[in-house]
Structure 1
Amino acid sequence: MKFLISNDDGYFSPGIEQLAAILSRHGKVVVVAPERDRSAASNSLTLDRPLTVRRAANGFHFVNGTPTDCVHLAVTGLLDFVPDMVFSGINHGPNMGDDTLYSGTVAAATEGFLLGIPSVAVSLAGKSGQHFASAAPVIDLLVERFRSQPLQQPVLLNVNIPDIPADALGPVQITRLGRRHKAEPVIKTQNPRGETIYWVGPVGHAQDAGSGTDFAAIAANAVSITPLMIDLTATTQLTQIKDWLCR
């Protein structure tokens, strides 16, 4: 199999090195990742300047752009093959619930999905970053399943793995996205020139972390796999808005 790997933590991150090592056991691996941390870049494309691609000493390619740029550029011009799968990660920190809207990790996988390739975003759901290797059995399972039982259409999977030893992981759970409360207020301070500056505040606590959510799975030390979709149409409001505007 042939794999394209990207992330949002940058080409130098330990998570992407671990992911490349895992997938190299299954086939050909090409890494195209941002030159610096682009966390929370979401699905942005760089359209106001040209992009450059350079190659690091370890063979990874790095781009002066976003995670979406990396995958788009790789699939539409850089590679001389179409990947069988796109993997993004392994992110240092979770991407669950509403966070998926902002996540550059999920965005890189989303771009692969939009280009017609089965794509997987992988995140280590913890702050310590001690157990990236725990993702190996989960990734191995996904690759082997895609190899032996190909799906009829591309899928986009969001995978979160507790930051604990592999032998302590619970079973894989297929989950839905939970929901958070609104974010905490911005942090207001001053720079050395006395100008007011703002830091975006931390994410809110989980509002919907009930049974079946990604939050609940991680709290139980289980692996969460959530299939995502891109259609943003509020289908339940179509009739309501039509009656509201077109009567």
Structure 2
Amino acid sequence: MKILLSNDDGYQAPGIVALHEALKDLAEVEVVAPEHNNSAKSNALTLHAPLYVNTAANGFRYVNGTPADCVHIALTGLLGYTPDLVVSGINNGANMGDDTIYSGTVGAAMEGYLFGVPAIAFSQVQKGWSHLDAAALKARELVTYVLEHQRTGEAPWLLNVNIPNLPHEELKAFKVCRLGRRHAAEKVISQTSPRGDVMYWIGGAGPAKDDAEGTDFHAALQGHPTITPLKVDLTDHDALRYWSQAAAQVPGAK
């Protein structure tokens, strides 16, 4: 079995190092990850600048691009084969609710999914890497199940997993749940640069808005590692009929 491992925190981040250590005896694991932190890069691809691949002393390959770049390059020529599974993470902080839209961790996994490869994105709920060993072990348990039960030979699927920062013995069973929702992000932060120019920093993520039972926010707060199956189709199917009728009324429509 072959696993492609990537992330958005960069190839030297503790999360990807711990995840590689946890998975390396389950399969042949290749690491292709960003050179630098690429948090919140979502599915962005670099189209107007060259990308370079280098190899670190530990064998990890790193790219001067986004998480999606890393997986895209790996699957379209760098590896020379199609892996059985794409794994992304472990991210330094949660990717729950609306976070998944912006997440580079999810973006890397989604790139694998778009190429027809089953994929999992792993994140820790809180920043700081506390109990990272427990999160890596929990990730190993899920990947082991997937590989042993041959879930990689099926139609591609995409899982978003968030693991509370707890000792392994305090972590509860995996719980499958829907995405919650966040309130709007905090206000932008403006500062004046040393040259006198006004510069802006994007504000922090908003607090949970929908954290009802059944959401990833609620389950993680109870100590459950959460699993949310994701899909890419953004079509509002319920609105198709309405907009079809509306479009027919647009002047000039035939």
TM-score, normalised to structure 2, is: 0.94
Tell me, what secondary structure is at the counterpart of 1:32? strand
Q: Which residue of 2 aligns with 1:157?
A: 159
Q: How do 1:1-247 residues align onto structure 2 when only pairs under 5 Å count?
A: 1-151=1-151, 152-247=154-249
Q: Distance in 2 between matches of 1:236 and 1:186?
A: 34
Structure 1 stretches lacking a partner, 5+ long: none
Tell me, what secondary structure is at the counterpart of 1:97? coil
- Report the Cα offset of residue 45 of structure 1: 0.5
Q: Is the 8 A contact 1:157 1:227 kept in 2?
A: yes
- Report the Cα offset of residue 139 of structure 1: 2.2
Tell me, what secondary structure is at the counterpart of 2:205? coil
- Report the Cα offset of residue 145 of structure 1: 2.4
Give CA deviations for 1:99-131 in whole Å, capped at 9, x if unaligned: 100000000000000111110000011123111
Q: Distance in 2 between matches of 1:14 and 1:90?
A: 8
Structure 2 stretches lacking a partner, 5+ long: 250-254
Q: Which residue of 1 aligns with 2:252?
A: none
Q: Distance in 2 between matches of 1:142 and 1:219?
A: 20
Which one-letter code corresponds to 1:77 in the other structure? G
- Report the Cα offset of residue 60 of structure 1: 0.3
- Report the Cα offset of residue 160 of structure 1: 0.2
Q: Distance in 2 between matches of 1:240 and 1:181?
A: 28
Q: Is the 8 A contact 2:119 2:157 kept in 1?
A: yes
RMSD of aligned alpha carbons: 1.1
Tell me, what secondary structure is at the counterpart of 1:194? coil
- Report the Cα offset of residue 196 of structure 1: 1.0
Q: Is the 8 A contact 2:135 2:165 kept in 1?
A: no
Q: Is the 8 A contact 2:22 2:137 kept in 1?
A: no
Q: Distance in 2 between matches of 1:10 and 1:178?
A: 27
Which one-letter code corresponds to 2:227 in the other structure? I
Which one-letter code corresponds to 1:4 in the other structure? L
Q: How many residues align?
A: 247
Which one-letter code corresponds to 1:154 in the other structure? P
Tell me, what secondary structure is at the counterpart of 1:107? helix
Which one-letter code corresponds to 1:80 in the other structure? G
- Report the Cα offset of residue 27 of structure 1: 1.4
Q: Distance in 2 between matches of 1:130 and 1:141?
A: 19
Q: Distance in 2 between matches of 1:193 and 1:147?
A: 55
- Report the Cα offset of residue 142 of structure 1: 2.2
Identity across aligned pairs (percent)? 51
Which one-letter code corresponds to 1:160 in the other structure? N
Tell me, what secondary structure is at the counterpart of 2:54? strand
Which one-letter code corresponds to 2:47 in the other structure? L
